[in-house]
């Protein structure tokens, strides 16, 4: 089977797997090429002088006198290697270069070992000043030490029993250890008063050696020159290495200017890259396809799949959901989009099966689809948010009025309690440690505030319905940290106070029926599914609402809501008027709760609906682009 037939079968059998579409490629016009690639690589040969200390033992090498003289001689010899007058390291590097480049393509940082000669220098030992001996520290140079038995006195105390007088007699006598002299010969110096110098081991000299070491470090910049036909050659060789070439020859040291200038050594070589070039035809569009190397790896597919991929990708973001789903499920389109979003490389693009023009066009259409879905995800959110604001405002207003009606004594004390407007002063007092929370030391306020902020941050990070940036996470955590103490402490102390003062059920039921009963009107309109039943539902709700108010008016005598000699509705109005004073002192809290609930709950509902819609596309990368992967 010819190479042309072999590659044509390969493309046809693998094309659908690569792109997801059938690609009936026809190859023709086979041409063999042997590209002569000339490469230039730079390495920096670093030659340095290393100092080694040997104490009093003189090492082998060229003795130069003092250590400073040995150092000077070593540096002069190193300059010979750097200048190139002594080719030692050059020759060593050339021996390493050819096999390493042939196998690995780019040489690694390589040690060139040390030059054979070491330069030795010696200096007088500073500890013993060249004598090789130092004063014995045990006897301080005296050669003798105090006797251990008599402590240097020469006599020791003894006691004897006098049997004649039957008593114990205490006296002194000459020390038997030192024979009365009070001292003994020093064991460390054997009585000489001097010991061998430990720094130079008695030689009186300290020796050091200097070696010249070389290292080859790969340059960060390299380039190649190519007089062949195609611009993709360089990228292909970079990816595959020299295992694709037939031979490697003419390794020489060269001089260059520009990018590699400044390297100590630069080497060049020539490589032969065998290549087969074909004319590939699909849908009457011709392109060049190249297979290169010993195994004829795909070098440049010439964008052969462009027509097939674009036939599907051009419909992406055009307005048809079915076309979008089909395009996102196509392997080639899917890979291109994932490479774009994750900034990764794929063979489909590196080997030019799909050209960069098609890649950019697919990316543009995908961005258009993402933009459309983002607009669709928030379409109509403002009216819904305003409706939610009205709903939650009335809800929290009703809850507040019920509290004031059921607990009128508690409502009367509203001006004396801390509201949200006074709360910042309380926060400042806490942070300035003006008082202690829960009876603990005031400095503990900071630990509590910090702990609450950390807990709030973790809560937002884990429980918020979508991924948000750090700035928003910190902002929400700070908001919770500031508001949560006010909410918790208010609920705790106000509930205690309200229970202590006791409820008034009659006023609460009669007054609450006026506000809670208005929900009947909403239900009367919303429950009927048919539009022509909605007016009837509203009429029925109004009738039921009036009936409830009439029942409470009839029960006034039994309940005692309003005194019997007073008009019921006028008296009930006065009760509600007193309750509205409580609303006056809490309208900021009511408004704040309504705004927060309407904003976050509406946005969450729209986000969940949008995620459900996006999930229908069955594309994880689309969910990531829409920030909906959570």
Average pLDDT of span 339-357:
85
> Across residues 233-244, what is the average pLDDT?
63
pLDDT of residue 258: 52
Contacts of 529 (CB under 8 A, 6+ apart): none
| pLDDT at position 223 over 60 | no
**Residue 43 three-state SS:** strand
- Looking at the chain, the whole-number percentage of residues with pLDDT higher than 70 is 86
In whole angstroms, what is the distance from residue 374 CA to residue 607 CA?
10
The DSSP call for residue 595 is H
Position 585 pLDDT exceeds 70? yes
Name the pLDDT band for 210 (thresholds 50, 70, 90).
very high
- Quote the mean pLDDT of the chain: 82
Q: How confident is the model at residue 602 (pLDDT cuts 50, 70, 90)?
A: very high
Report the alpha-carbon distance of residue 508 to residue 502 in Å, rounded: 12
Helical spans, DSSP H, in 502-518: 505-516
Residue 90 is predicted with a pLDDT of: 75
Average pLDDT over residues 228-254: 61
**Would you say residue 259 has pLDDT above 60?**
no
The answer for residues whose C-beta is within 8 angstroms of residue 605's C-beta and 6 or more apart is 384
pLDDT tens, position by position, 21-50: 777 889 999 888 777 777 666 667 778 889
Picking from 300-314, 430-444, 528-542, which range would have the lowest pLDDT averaged per residue? Answer: 430-444
Q: CB within 8 A of 115, min separation 6: which ones?
A: 77, 81, 88, 89, 211, 212, 213, 214
> Which one is predicted more confidently, 400 or 419?
400
328, 337 contact by CB (below 8 A): yes
Whether 594 has a pLDDT exceeding 70, the answer reads: yes
Burial class (CB in 10 A: 0-12, 13-18, 19+), 289: buried
Q: What pLDDT does 102 receive? A: 47
Per residue in 312-332, pLDDT (tens digit) is 899 898 889 999 999 998 888
Average pLDDT over residues 92-111: 63
What mean pLDDT comes out for the span 193-208? 88
What pLDDT, on the 0 to 100 scale, is given for residue 173? Answer: 75
Hey, is 158 helix, strand or coil? strand
> Distance between CA atoms of 225 and 228, rounded to whole angstroms?
9
Transcribe 376-413 into DSSP letters: HHTTTHHHHHHHHHHHHHHHHHHHHHHHHHH-HHHHHT
**What pLDDT was estimated at residue 592?**
92
Among the residue ranges 219-223, 435-439, 537-541, the one predicted with the least confidence is 219-223
pLDDT-derived band at 255 (thresholds 50, 70, 90) equals low
Q: In the chain, what is the straight-line distance between the N-terminal and C-terminal CA atoms, in Å?
A: 53
Q: Does residue 252 or residue 619 have the better pLDDT? A: 619
For residues 353-379, average pLDDT: 91
Quote the tokens at residue 532: 């022509």
Name the region of 130 (left: φ>0; alpha: ψ -120 to 50; beta: rest): left
Residue 209 banded pLDDT, cuts 50, 70, 90: very high
How many other β-carbons are positioned within 10 Å of the β-carbon of residue 424? 11
Per-residue pLDDT at 444: 87
- Which pLDDT belongs to residue 143? 79
DSSP sequence for 247-304:
-EEEEEE----STTTT-SEEEEEEEEEEEEEEEEEETTEEEEEEEETTTTEEEE-TTT
Contacts of 3 (CB under 8 A, 6+ apart): 30, 276, 291, 296
> Higher pLDDT residue, 120 or 293?
120
């Amino acid at each position: 089977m010819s190479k042309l037939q072999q590659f044509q079968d390969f493309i046809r059998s693998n094309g659908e797997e690569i792109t997801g579409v059938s690609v009936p490629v026809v190859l023709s016009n086979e041409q063999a090429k042997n590209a002569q690639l000339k490469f230039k690589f730079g390495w920096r040969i670093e030659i340095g002088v290393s100092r080694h200390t040997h104490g009093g033992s003189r090492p082998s090498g060229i003795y130069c006198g003092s250590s400073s003289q040995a150092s000077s001689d070593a540096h002069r010899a190193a300059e010979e290697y750097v200048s190139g007058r002594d080719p030692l390291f050059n020759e060593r590097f050339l021996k390493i270069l050819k096999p390493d480049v042939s196998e690995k393509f780019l040489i690694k940082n390589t040690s060139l070992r040390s030059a054979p000669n070491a330069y030795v220098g010696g200096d007088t030992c500073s500890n013993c000043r060249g004598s090789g001996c130092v004063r014995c520290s045990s006897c301080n140079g005296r050669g003798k030490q105090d006797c251990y038995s008599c402590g240097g006195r020469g006599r020791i105390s003894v006691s004897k029993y006098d049997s004649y007088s039957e008593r114990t007699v205490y006296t002194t006598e000459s020390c038997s250890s030192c024979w009365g002299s009070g001292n003994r010969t020093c064991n460390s110096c054997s009585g000489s008063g001097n010991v061998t110098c430990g720094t130079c081991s008695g030689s009186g000299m300290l020796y050091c050696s200097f070696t010249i070491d070389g290292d080859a470090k790969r340059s960060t910049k390299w380039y190649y020159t190519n007089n062949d036909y195609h611009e993709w050659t360089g990228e292909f060789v970079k990816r595959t290495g020299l295992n694709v070439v037939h031979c490697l020859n003419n390794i020489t040291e060269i001089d260059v200017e520009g990018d590699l200038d400044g390297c100590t050594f630069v080497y060049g070589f020539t490589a032969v890259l065998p290549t087969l070039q074909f004319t590939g035809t699909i849908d009457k569009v011709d392109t060049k396809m190249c297979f290169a190397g010993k195994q004829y790896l795909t070098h440049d597919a010439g964008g052969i799949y462009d027509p097939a991929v674009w036939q599907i990708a051009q419909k992406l973001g055009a307005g048809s959901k079915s076309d979008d789903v089909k395009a996102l499920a196509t392997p080639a389109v899917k890979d291109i989009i994932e490479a774009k979003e994750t900034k990764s490389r794929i063979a489909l693009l590196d080997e030019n099966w799909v050209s960069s023009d098609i890649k950019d066009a697919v990316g543009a259409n995908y961005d258009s689809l993402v933009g459309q879905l983002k607009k669709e995800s928030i379409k109509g959110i403002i009216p819904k948010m305003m409706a939610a604001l009205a709903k939650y405002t009335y809800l929290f207003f009703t809850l507040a009025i019920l509290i004031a009606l059921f607990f009128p004594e508690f409502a009367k004390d509203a001006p004396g309690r801390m509201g949200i407007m006074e709360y910042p002063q309380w926060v400042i007092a806490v942070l300035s440690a003006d008082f202690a929370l829960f009876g603990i030391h005031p400095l503990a306020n900071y630990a509590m505030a910090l702990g609450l902020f950390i807990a709030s941050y973790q809560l937002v990070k884990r429980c918020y319905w979508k991924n948000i940036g750090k700035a928003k996470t910190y902002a929400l955590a700070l908001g919770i940290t500031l508001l949560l103490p006010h909410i918790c402490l208010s609920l705790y102390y106000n509930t205690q106070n309200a229970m202590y003062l006791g409820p008034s059920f009659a006023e609460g039921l009669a007054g609450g029926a006026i506000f809670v009963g208005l929900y009947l009107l909403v239900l009367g309109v919303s429950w009927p599914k048919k539009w022509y039943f909605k007016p009837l539902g509203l009429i029925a709700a109004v009738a039921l609402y009036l009936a409830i108010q009439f029942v409470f008016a009839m029960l006034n005598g039994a309940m005692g809501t309003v005194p019997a000699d007073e008009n019921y509705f006028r008296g009930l109005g006065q009760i509600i008027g007193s309750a509205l004073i409580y609303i006056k002192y809490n309208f900021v809290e009511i408004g704040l709760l309504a705004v927060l609930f309407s904003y976050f709950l509406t946005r969450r509902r729209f986000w969940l609906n949008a995620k459900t819609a996006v999930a229908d596309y069955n594309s994880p990368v689309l969910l990531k682009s829409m920030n909906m992967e959570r």
